[in-house]
Structure 1
Amino acid sequence: MKRVAVVTGAAKGVGAAIAKRLVTADLAVVIHYHTSEADAKKTLAQLRRVNPDCAMLPANLRETKQAEQLINLVMERYGRIDLLINNVGNFIYKPLARTSIEDWNDVIETNLTATFSLCQAVLPQMRQQKYGRIVNVGQVDAARMVIRPKTTPYAIAKTGVVMLTKQLAFDNAKFGIRVNAISPGIVETSVVKLKTPTGTLVPVEDIANAVAYLVADESTQVNGANLEVANGFTFE
């Protein structure tokens, strides 16, 4: 049976690009979405032209029970999960003084807690099969402790994602599981101002190709890494 990949936040944008790249590697890809059902259907139609066994599933990953249910539903259908790409996330651009507790919880729960919940749900099965690849999506400033006045909750969440990635990699290496992070810079669809050496945005395909490398057999010694795909950018 083909290996199975789950990509969260994959209705459109970066997640959809990752799903489209992985399906070319002979994988059955399950795309997760929350509210963008129409976009998810379009992406799924494209995936099924390559592999009819792809699927889509909805979930609000801020809810731990729904994250666990997502993993359970994939297991019921396919009997295995080989790859988990934690791409889902939310971004709020405002000064910390104007950030409400609702804003804070939304960003932390969507970016960090959802990643933790999904990893906790999928790892027992990956340990049992002695194989697994997890890629968590961070952000270019993650783990650098850089102050970003209008993205503080997001920076904190993504720094946590990178720290979680390294601990999971250490804990699970003996089970044949690799856990890495990828940290994009400003992607094509972003509205945030940027400053890069070339003044260009990061194509979603570049991020997808980097994910494909991290889960491939050609990167067997890459574990606990945080790969930046950012074109050397800094916020203005």
Structure 2
Amino acid sequence: MSNSQKVVIVTGASQGIGAELVKAFRERDYRVVAIARSIKPSDDPNIVTVAGDIGDREVAKRAVSEAVERFGRVDTLINNAGIFIAKPFTQYTAEDYASILNVNVNGFFHITQLAIAEMEKNKSGHVLQITTSLVDHAISGVPSVLASLTKGGLNAATRSLAIEYAKTGIRANAVSPGIIKSPMHAPETHEALGALHPVGHMGEMRDIVDAVVYLDSAPFVTGEILHVDGGQSAGH
């Protein structure tokens, strides 16, 4: 089997934006390693699924090993996995804090470190994080301290990675969404959530997928936090 096709690892790949990203990369003839806690095996021989907690380094190791052993390389890593718990700051529990750090931060650190080590062998690669525009523009009534703490950290880490690896052929970028129509949000909430955006409506999963695909195909773009948020980060 030729290993000239590009290979992407997608975390949080079982539903929502992650599942749409898997489809989009397969449409572009990438081979895919898809990771999620509850993901099922795929009938597509060009998709390998890894079930497990992305915050666990052993799961991250397994995913990168599968990419290399099955497909011969790692070209792109999409750190899509993330959790959001909206609570007043003083009502977060220690368990909430640990869960959010595990997925949003540990889940980024372990697999990114391992994937970049593989990318260095080919002197090329791309790491992309899905963050949130709440980092830049907090919204009254949407308590988001832990999202800002963790996803804001990923924005900063993205810029730092971009500079550290700029001369090695490895790029780092992020897509910073507004509120997106996905299984995470019940349809009856869409009107109210849409009103939180200057454009007056929520985004579609395709908006995020298109932004990710653009950044993955943009060799002169690195260190970019691309806001796909209906104007939220610009103001009201």
Measured against the shorter chain, the TM-score band is: 0.7 to 0.9
Paired AA for residue 16 in structure 2: G
2:56 paired residue number: 63
Paired AA for residue 196 in structure 1: H
Q: Secondary structure at the match of 2:134?
A: coil
Q: Secondary structure at the match of 2:126?
A: strand
Q: CA deviation at 1:139?
A: 0.5
* Superimposed CA distance per residue, residues 149-185 of structure 1 (whole angstroms, 9 cap, x where no aligned partner): 6221111100001011111111111111111000110
Correspondences of 1:189-228 after superposition (within 5 Å)? 189=182, 190-191=184-185, 193-194=192-193, 195-216=196-217, 219-228=218-227
Q: CA deviation at 1:116?
A: 1.4
Measured in 2, the distance between the counterparts of 1:32 and 1:181 equals 19
Q: CA deviation at 1:130?
A: 0.7
1:2 paired residue number: 5
Measured in 1, the distance between the counterparts of 2:58 and 2:33 equals 18
Correspondences of 1:1-236 after superposition (within 5 Å)? 1-35=4-38, 37=39, 40=40, 44=42, 48=44, 52-142=45-135, 144=136, 146=138, 150-189=143-182, 190-191=184-185, 193-194=192-193, 195-216=196-217, 219-233=218-232
Measured in 1, the distance between the counterparts of 2:60 and 2:95 equals 20
Contact 2:33 2:63 in 1 (8 A): no
CA RMSD, Structure 1 to Structure 2 (Å): 2.1
Contact 2:50 2:62 in 1 (8 A): no
* Superimposed CA distance per residue, residues 88-118 of structure 1 (whole angstroms, 9 cap, x where no aligned partner): 0111111111101110111122012211111
Measured in 2, the distance between the counterparts of 1:230 and 1:100 equals 29
Unaligned runs of 5+ in 1: none
Contact 2:134 2:144 in 1 (8 A): no
Instruction: Output the TM-score relative to the length of structure 2.
Output: 0.87
Contact 2:179 2:202 in 1 (8 A): yes
Instruction: Output the TM-score relative to the length of structure 1.
Output: 0.87
Q: How many residues align?
A: 223
Unaligned runs of 5+ in 2: none
Pick which of 175-184 and 16-25 moved more. Answer: 16-25
Q: Secondary structure at the match of 1:141?
A: helix
Q: CA deviation at 1:233?
A: 3.3
Measured in 2, the distance between the counterparts of 1:84 and 1:60 equals 16
Q: CA deviation at 1:80?
A: 0.7
Measured in 2, the distance between the counterparts of 1:147 and 1:206 equals 21
Q: CA deviation at 1:145?
A: 7.2
